[in-house]
Amino acid sequence: MLFFIILIAIWEAIYRLNLSYEFFSVTAFPSPINSVTELYIGFFETGILTEALFTSIQRLLVGFIIAVIIGSLLGLLLARSKIADETLGSLVIALQSIPSIVWLPIMLMLFGSGTLPIILIVTLGGTWVMTSNMRLGIKSVQPILIRAARTMGYKGSELIWHVMIPAAVPSFLSGTRLAWAFGWRALMAAELIGSGGLGRTLMDARDFYNMDLVIAIMIIIATIGLIMEFVIFDRIEKKVFARWGLS
């Protein structure tokens, strides 16, 4: 906290000096205090930021859940089928190298400028990394676990659901963590071009030269990232890693 307070103090001092000496454009160099004021206005007076945040989170959750489901199933298929791994797996690697935002013009042409194209972009952003992590997790299951399960009578789907998937849970969690991060970035990029949400609000603020609001939205984006990383994913991952003997 002290580190961030010092950074903000330096930032505000530079802003005050810039008002007097104009090292940079006054319009383009906002004040942290004014940005916090914009946060208060946007959340508690006009409600603009509240509506934008709700829209973005809703889109992200839908796209993230779809990405986790599709990615998990694809990863399981690639790990269990050599033919699928050598064919579909190559396609997944190729698609993973394409930034998800590149798909947005196609999505806009196919589905218009509503919510659906943005959700699909979020899904594409998280699916391939989820697939790769799930595939790696299943393939990394210790052979001794599989042999022990087979001697106890497990086979087919029982072997997958009772041995392989539980053993791959740490990789699954790493995949969900990355899928969320990639989906969040894809969402912001898509909303800059699409409609509604924090990304569109940020572009509108830029068009009206309201740099204080731009910084306020960036603070929201960064705060959500920190909360998801350290409050949710980090705690869950530590508990699972301790439970699986990996910590």
pLDDT digit string (tens) for 60-88?
999 999 999 999 999 999 998 889 998 99
If asked whether residues 175 and 195 sit together in one domain, one would say yes
Across 121-150, average pLDDT: 90
Per-residue pLDDT at 218 exceeds 70: yes
Shared domain check, 186 and 235? yes
Q: Are residues 128 and 234 in the same domain?
A: yes
Do 16 and 37 belong to one domain?
no
More confident residue, 218 or 160: 218
- Shared domain check, 115 and 9: no
**Cα–Cα distance for residue pair 27/34, rounded to 1 Å:** 12
Residues 157-162 have a mean pLDDT of 82
Contact 68, 199 (CB under 8 A): no
Structurally, how many domains does the chain consist of?
A: 2
Residue 247 has pLDDT above 70, yes or no: no
Q: Which residue has the higher pLDDT, 51 or 244?
A: 51
| Among 223, 225, 221, 222, CA closest to 234 | 225
pTM for this predicted structure: 0.86
Confidence of residue 217 (pLDDT cuts 50, 70, 90): very high
Range of the structural domain that residue 13 is part of: 1-30
Q: What is the largest CA-CA distance in the chain?
A: 79
In this structure, the answer to whether residues 23 and 143 fall within a common structural domain is no
180 and 111 housed in the same domain? yes
- For residue 78, count CB atoms less than 10 angstroms from its CB and return exposed for 0-12, middle for 13-18, buried for 19 or more: buried
Over 70: is that where the pLDDT of 246 sits? no
The alpha carbon dihedral of 122, 127, 133, 134 has a sign of: positive
Instruction: Mark whether 109 and 211 lie in a shared domain.
Output: yes
Same domain, 56 and 9: no
Same domain, 22 and 140: no
Same domain, 15 and 44: no
* Average pLDDT value for residue range 102-126: 88
Q: Supply the pLDDT for residue 130.
A: 94
Indicate the average pLDDT of the chain: 88
CATH number at residue 82: 1.10.3720.10
Token pair for 175: 């995949």
Q: Regarding predicted confidence, which is higher, 67 or 115?
A: 67
> Measured between alpha carbons, how far is 117 from 238 in angstroms, rounded to an integer?
35
Task: With cut-offs at 50, 70 and 90, classify the pLDDT of residue 21.
Answer: confident
Task: Check whether residue 65 and residue 10 sit in a common domain.
Answer: no
